């Protein structure tokens, strides 16, 4: 686990335990879903009294022309269902909001913490992002009742930019953390950790030339007004897929180890 991933993992866990507002940003395949699963597992493993609230986001889009949007009312319904199962939401927005506030207060009295976790958050419409501020500010005395973690692709960072006046009040409260690619020597450490978890020694399976070739294959060049720029695709999913394909190719060829030529040939 790289220092970047450890920091994001801990930021998510601390938000679950103590409240806060965090936006986790990463490219596709950067490990966002794995971190969400790890958070759920850690909460269960450590026996934490944390109610995890995950609104249904399948096929969510950021406007009604493209598809279904996740609105504040849907988040309210998800919170109520999680902390007070079976309760029917009030019809008027204000009554429903008071109902949620009371339900969270009662749950907190029972010793529970609450975390609202929204995946694919880059698909949230701006009005819903603005409404998150009101959910976040629900309190019992001085204690906040709801932590919030948003998980999304790089478009989420653009929506949560300080230059976006539409959501400035949300941005001021939200810490954005980014899952970075496995550059600057982190690739080798990641592979060592990955193989060790499977009870294997990476040096017995991948030659150094293979690791170098993985880095080379997953770094693309593009031309811009500034000249040639390098863009890294060294994210866990892409690395795992390329290494698996190279290992299968080496096995078919009868090689004991994977070298750079094998990686470049898949």
* CA gap 101, 123 in Å, rounded: 26
Where are any strands of DSSP class E within the chain?
Answer: 21-25, 50-53, 113-118, 139-140, 143-144, 147-152, 175-178, 219-224, 227-232
| Tens-level pLDDT at each residue, the chain (266 residues) | 677 889 999 999 999 999 999 999 999 999 999 999 999 999 999 999 999 999 987 655 566 656 678 899 999 999 999 999 988 888 888 999 999 999 999 999 999 999 999 999 999 999 999 999 999 999 999 999 999 999 999 999 999 988 888 888 999 999 999 999 999 889 999 999 999 999 999 999 999 999 999 999 999 887 777 777 778 999 999 999 999 999 999 999 999 999 999 999 98
Q: Residue 119 — φ and ψ, nearest 5°?
A: -85, 165
Answer for the pair 121, 62: CB distance below 8 angstroms, yes or no.
Answer: no
Answer for the pair 231, 220: CB distance below 8 angstroms, yes or no.
Answer: yes
State the CB neighbour count (10 A cutoff) for residue 83. 23
Answer for the pair 79, 53: CB distance below 8 angstroms, yes or no.
Answer: yes
Q: Which residue ranges form the domains of the chain, and what is each CATH number?
A: 3-178 (3.40.50.300), 186-265 (1.10.8.60)
Taking the model in full, what pTM does it have?
0.86
């Amino acid at each position: 686990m790289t220092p970047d991933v450890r920091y994001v993992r801990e930021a998510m866990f601390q938000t679950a335990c103590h409240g806060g507002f965090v936006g986790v940003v990463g490219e596709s395949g950067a490990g966002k879903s794995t971190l969400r699963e790890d958070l759920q597992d850690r909460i269960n493993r450590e026996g934490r009294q944390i109610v995890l609230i995950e609104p249904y986001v399948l096929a969510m889009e950021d406007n009604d022309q493209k598809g279904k949007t996740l609105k504040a009312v849907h988040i309210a319904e998800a919170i109520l269902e999680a902390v007070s199962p079976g309760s029917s939401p009030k019809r008027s927005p204000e009554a429903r909001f008071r109902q949620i506030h009371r339900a969270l207060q009662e749950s907190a009295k029972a010793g529970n913490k609450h975390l609202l976790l929204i995946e694919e958050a880059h698909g949230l419409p701006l009005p819903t992002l603005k409404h998150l501020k009101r959910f976040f500010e629900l309190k019992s005395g001085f204690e906040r009742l709801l932590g919030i973690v948003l998980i999304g692709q790089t478009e989420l960072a653009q929506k949560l930019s300080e230059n976006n006046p539409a959501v400035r009040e949300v941005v001021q409260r939200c810490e954005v953390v980014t899952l970075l690619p496995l550059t600057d020597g982190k690739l080798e450490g990641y592979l060592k950790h990955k193989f060790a978890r499977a009870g294997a020694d990476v040096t017995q399976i991948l030659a150094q030339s293979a690791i170098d070739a993985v880095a080379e294959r997953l770094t693309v060049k593009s031309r811009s007004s500034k000249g040639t720029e390098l863009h890294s695709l060294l994210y866990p999913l892409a690395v795992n897929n390329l290494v698996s394909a190279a290992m299968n190719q080496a096995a078919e060829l009868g090689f004991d180890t994977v070298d750079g030529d094998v990686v470049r040939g898949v």
